[in-house]
Amino acid sequence: MDQRSDSENLSPFISDRVLVNGKVVPLTFTRDGKLRWNHNDRRCLNVEKEALGFTFEGSRIRVNVVVEKRDRILCFANMGGIGRQSFVFEPLSEESLTLWSQKLRDYIDSLGRPKRLLIFVNPFGGKKCATKIFVEDVRPCLEDADIQFTVIETKHQLHAKEVVKTLDLSKYDGIVCVSGDGILVEVINGLLEREDWSDAIKMPIGMVPAGTGNGMVKSLLDSAGEICSPSNAILAVIRGHTRSLDVATISQGKTRFFSVLMLAWGLIADIDIESEKYRWMGSARIDFYALQRITYLRHYNGRVSFVPAPGFEEYGEQTSYSGEPSCETSTSQQESLNIQQPGYLGSDVKLENMHWRTISGPFVSIWLHNVPWGSEDVLAAPNAMFSDGYLDLIIVKDIPKLSLLSLLSKMNDGSHVHCPHVMYLKVKAFVLEPGARIDDPTKEGIIDSDGELLARGNVTYKGNVKCYMAYDKLQITVDQGLATLFAPV
């Protein structure tokens, strides 16, 4: 920690007279990273917060900056919350130019910002606007920050995962996903399936919203009080601040899937996956199909078991750990999913030594969340934290349709968790034993994780996507702070 006094922090690295817009003015660069100058009125620029980078143009130095709309320091163009502009000054001597250049470079380097990024752009996600967002919002900021970048447009499902599994990570300081949450999930799974997974998973990952849901980047930006916009998201990457993220390992036999957002079974999973046929509607497909599912509400038999966090021991009935789920999977499915690939095998926590509780169905919805926001307008788990080592569990059993409609309408502010028909708790480990529908035992359900079709029973939904697991018992454990994300704070 910096133990210097305030007066020492405010003392200048360098102070000089320079040309600004043809006028000689005093310019000071203080030890706490502030550029201060007099021109018409007194002005100050916080380099760490507002400077993207510096460009050295002959005898002039251009400071590429971002400022908020309410900030009147500089004029700027509209970028949806922030603006890009530049402040240009010219030292009066060659010696002064050299000194200013060195001091500014040294300070930016001391901030630990990324210098080389790999960027995945998913042109097929959401409203198919990722390429436009990259060109108009992301690339200009990266160029202003003098960050080198390599762009890969994803061509098909799991493309990003395939790239990451064999990528030379030494060439990059971070990976950025201009997409929805799906590409992030592919990157996490690709890193954890590498032989060097323990080092690979330390690679910082950034998110720029360009998909249907954008739950992860919404959670990150909202935690800092910032709006969810591409410009705010890429600025968080450029500044280089990071935070840890819990990773949930979903296991069934030898099959592993690593989740960072959520797992759903019942109503939420049915809406998320079955609404894919309305993807042309964009995010409106979710609301449209939710009304259909409420009208023809499904109830599912099944059972959930869990290890509650301290303070939530009153939920359910006492039980014991029944052993790790096993499932016979066809040889062709094993080959397609690369189950036997080396990599991370999940937490080594002793589940049999934990205190388990259980709740039996029928259920309307089971929803596990790792972060607060499920999408930009769904605050699914308002108490969820990025790296607390727990998942937030939302259970809905019997509920009238009108009450369910009211509940769903409250998800935009998180108040649905206070509904008397909702059980909301935190868990350390979780076991799901999904069953068939009450109204028709020949039909089963869908298990959805991070927007991916994890498992599909005997259902009317006919998708072409291969499932990762069977519609059977599965287990979830949490690894606290395993992954790393670029974050605004």
- Kindly state the DSSP code that residue 467 receives in the 8-state scheme: P
Are residues 162 and 236 both part of a single domain?
Answer: yes
Number of domains in the chain: 3
Compute CA distances 300 → 207, 363, 431, 451, 464, whole Å. 35, 5, 16, 20, 24
Give Cβ neighbours of residue 305 (< 8 Å, ≥ 6 apart).
316, 319, 321, 322, 356, 357, 358, 359, 430, 431, 433
Least-confidence region, from 74-78, 235-239, 266-270: 74-78
pLDDT, tens only, 299-345: 999 999 999 999 999 999 999 998 878 765 444 344 344 444 578 98
pLDDT value, residue 81: 57
Q: Is beta strand 23-30 parallel, antiparallel or unpaired with respect to 12-20?
A: antiparallel
Residue of 144, 181, 270, 392 marked active site? 181
Q: Is residue 277 part of a domain?
A: yes
Alpha-helix runs per DSSP H in 343-454: 401-409
Strand positions, DSSP E, 321-442: 356-360, 365-369, 391-396, 422-437
pTM, to two decimals: 0.88
pLDDT value, residue 393: 98
Q: Is residue 154 part of a domain?
A: yes
Q: Active site includes 181?
A: yes
Q: What CATH number is associated with residue 23?
A: 2.30.29.30
Q: Is residue 270 part of a domain?
A: yes
Distance CA 67, CA 222 (A): 19
pLDDT, tens only, 112-169: 999 999 999 999 877 789 999 999 999 999 999 999 999 999 999 899 999 999 999 9
Are residues 96 and 147 both part of a single domain?
Answer: no
pLDDT value, residue 41: 63
pLDDT, tens only, 371-399: 999 999 999 999 999 999 999 999 999 99
Per-residue pLDDT band for 71 (boundaries 50, 70, 90) equals very low
Are residues 104 and 120 both part of a single domain?
Answer: no
Q: Is residue 272 part of a domain?
A: yes
pLDDT value, residue 327: 61
Are residues 387 and 441 both part of a single domain?
Answer: yes
Are residues 286 and 220 both part of a single domain?
Answer: no
Distance CA 487, CA 489 (A): 5
Are residues 302 and 394 both part of a single domain?
Answer: yes
C-alpha 472 chain-centroid distance: 28
Q: Provide the sign of the torsion angle of the four alpha carbons 132, 133, 138, 141, taken in this order.
A: positive
Which structural domain, as residue segments, surrounds residue 215?
116-240
Q: Is residue 365 part of a domain?
A: yes
75 pLDDT above the threshold of 70:
no
